[in-house]
Amino acid sequence: MKTSGDVTVVGAGPVGLLLATELALQGVRTTVLERLTARADTIKAQMISGRTYQMLAMRGFGPAVDAASEAEAAGLAWRPTGSTGHFAGLFKLDGLPLVMLSQQALERILEARALELGVEIRRGAEVTSLDLGSDYVVGCDGGRSTVRKLAGFDFPGTDPTLTGYQAVVDLDGDLPRGWQRTPTGVYASGPLKGRIMLLEFDGPPATRDVTRESLEAALRRVSGRDVRITAVHTSTVWTDNTRQATTYRRGNVLLAGDAAHVHSPFGGQGLNLGLQDALNLGWKLATGDSALIDTYTAERHPVAERVLRNTMAQVALTRPDPHSRELHALVDDLLDLPEVKTRISAMIQGTDIRYATDCDHPLAGTFVPGLDLSDGKGTSIALDGLEATVRPDGYISGIAA
């Protein structure tokens, strides 16, 4: 069963574009409205997790992602060894499968597929009302979501305690690679040529516009080094503002990605979280089954809530005060324990997600990698001599003899 009308997706970022392809794949008429007239070229997410890669691959995006990833890796100033992720700057999550892929490259891949499937993308279209003539409206319009505000979603959480910067610059002076902790924050450079990152606690309030002068001043304050920024090619500023909508649905309006949850980018979890929201929601929304659509909040809200908790914990570990430094040292020791490392790695990657089902088999509700679900339909597979039913998003809904 398909919706009798259509769906309007607000926001042409990766979450909105992936949701649009999911809906179009199910035969739903889909329109994407985007306030910006062109794709933003500011520095954003640079990697996706191995689980997100597996989920994109099941839809047939693997070859395009591989090609884009290899092209971007060729431009690295240096290549990180292995696939080590971090927790609060502790680079001990070795074996973590990460795929280099900029948000802009991912958006190009998803947009091409959306257009191929007949999705209408309208740029320069600013939403001021939710009276859009659609059966459903989905807000994928970021942390300052207009859709969320217009629909009246509650968005409780905590205010910022730090200001973070990412930028690609021309630098006069040297910065060591890797995370460097200082009495006022953290700074790092690489692996992309000219890329810097810094976190400043208890500094000037964050502003959306980053100038060369303000970025240089922040870098000098945090690093304590006599460095100069001679040019800024791209930059972005962020905070640890942490909030989550109490529900992801109000009537015919739904939220996905940063519109539903915001947090600091520690661990690079935000993009992956939003893309997996889209893959969970798309096939459900296409059915028009209200009870099934409600399971989107039931399944995805706890997942995001856990991400919010672990990013807040990472911020606390990173603070430069003496107590936080000792806590950081303790967690550093704990991450040498294989069981702790495995638990944290699974949490960051989302590989331990298990959705509730009526089946008590230990694999029910878990994800099955390696399947070809490019048609957007579910399937059945043999599993330990039993038959497992796999949903369109790759998760097992039940196992029977």
Residue 218: strand, helix, or coil: helix
List, in order, residues 6 or more apart from 56 with CB less than 8 Å away: 48, 62, 65, 275
List, in order, residues 6 or more apart from 61 with CB less than 8 Å away: 109, 110, 113
- Residue in this structure with the two tokens 């967690």, named with its chain if needed: 331
Token representation of residue 182: 């200082």
Beta strands 379-383 and 261-262 are unpaired
Residue 109, Cα to own-chain centre: how many angstroms? 16
pLDDT at residue 72 greater than cutoff 90: no
At position 6, the amino acid (one-letter code) is: D
State the pLDDT confidence band at 189, using cuts at 50, 70 and 90.
confident
For residue range 216-240, list pLDDT tens digits in order: 999 999 999 999 999 999 999 999 9
At position 139, the amino acid (one-letter code) is: G
Mean of pLDDT over the chain: 92
For residue range 5-40, list pLDDT tens digits in order: 699 999 999 999 999 999 999 999 999 999 999 988
| pTM exceeds 0.85, yes or no | yes
**C-alpha to C-alpha distance for 167 and 165, rounded to whole angstroms:** 7
Highest average pLDDT, of 173-177, 194-198, 238-242, comes from 238-242
Q: What is the pLDDT of residue 204?
A: 83
